[in-house]
Amino acid sequence: MTIHKEGYTTIALSILFIFIINAFVDYKYYDVTWLRWFIYIFSAALFLIVLQFFRNPRRSFSAGEDLVICPADGKVVVIEETEEGEYFKDKRLQVSIFMSPVNVHINRNPISGVVKFFKYHPGKYLAAWNPKSSTENERTTTVVEHENGTPVLFRQIAGALARRIVWYVKEGDQVVQTEQFGFIKFGSRVDVFLPVGTKVNVALNDVVKGGITTLATLA
């Protein structure tokens, strides 16, 4: 397991904070044993939490020309037909994955193809499970056209804790299935919009792995 590049600055700031607070307690309250041990334990827990959040575990990825691979770790919280109003402006099959703070937060391309559309939207920070978060929260929208002509839309959505979305793609890019397209810091969700009638290979509340779980099969 390695640490993702998005974590370098946060980890460095965490170490600096831990050093300062420990030095202060050791100097100011050197004779208050219980307080010093509390700060030591708190510091260790904080460091481990931050470290695990930015982990980048080694994986053997799934692949398949007709497969839609899960773009994120988490739990499937939505499988439904809905109106997609930003790009398609018609009915689509939405599959949403909720990412908790303990999940790996790397986002991966569900299919290979050409990026036909990309847009970043500033917005609110509603809880990720709120239905309005898909259209009102800070988010990015990416549409990749499969080589068979089928477009798939996927959307990074910030949440109440997730206050930073990172993306690595732009319109015109040729992207490869399971390669990284972005990162969401401190939990949120990813929506995938598929053609109506697409065979979905997951169920509600399934725990899924980014780059590994087969989300759906394209016709």
Task: Count how many Cα atoms sit within 13 Å of the Cα of residue 209 in the half-sphere of its side chain.
Answer: 10
Burial of 195 (0-12, 13-18, 19+ CB in 10 A): middle
Find out whether 214 and 201 touch, Cβ atoms under 8 Å. yes
143: amino acid identity, one letter: V
Q: Is 188 a catalytic residue?
A: yes
Residue 171 · residue 116 · CB < 8 Å = yes
DSSP string covering 25-90, please?
A: HHHHSTT-HHHHHHHHHHHHHHHHHHHHHTEE--------TTEEE--SSEEEEEEEEEEETTTT-E
β-sheet bridge partners, residue 175: 113
Place of tokens 């100097």: 27
Active site residues: 188
